[in-house]
Amino acid sequence: MPNGGITPDCVHCKLYRGQPHTEDEPHCEHHNMKLPYPIRAFCANFVDPEPSGGKDWLDQELDRTQLRNDFMYLWLGGHEKPFFYVPLASIKDYGQWTRERFLEELAELSEKHKED
């Protein structure tokens, strides 16, 4: 995941269904929930559809054992700053969010962590 590049997030997960791959709404097959926004967010259950050298993309970027199984995380950074992740919300709560709520949380967390 080079600086400013794409991140291992929901839309890049093997368990993801929906736009932009189909006309369906973004959906997580593993958690059986609608996703308010398919990019930047991820969970500990990310599955790489095309592992490189047998290693899952998420495992190449972080130590998955540091993640809670019941939580969603958010990638921050990019461009001139290396990507890093922060806790976002419980999976149960995240499944109830709207796109607007996601974007509000993204803005709030970006501001909170702008000096990290």
| pLDDT tens, position by position, 84-95 | 999 999 999 999
Q: What is the DSSP string of 60-94?
A: HHS-GGGS-TTEEEEEEEETTEEEEEEEEEEHHHH
- Is 3 inside a domain boundary? no
Task: Specify the pTM.
Answer: 0.91
Backbone angles phi, psi at 82, to 5 degrees: -60, 145
Residue keyed to tokens 């796109």: 99
Residue range 16-45: mean pLDDT, rounded: 93
The mean per-residue pLDDT over the stretch 77-83 comes to: 84
Task: Say which amino acid occupies 58.
Answer: L
Contact, 84 vs 110, CB < 8 A? no
In a domain, 75, yes or no: yes
Q: 4 lies in a domain? A: no
Q: How many domains does the chain have?
A: 1
Structural domain of 63? 10-112
The answer to whether residue 2 is domain-embedded is no
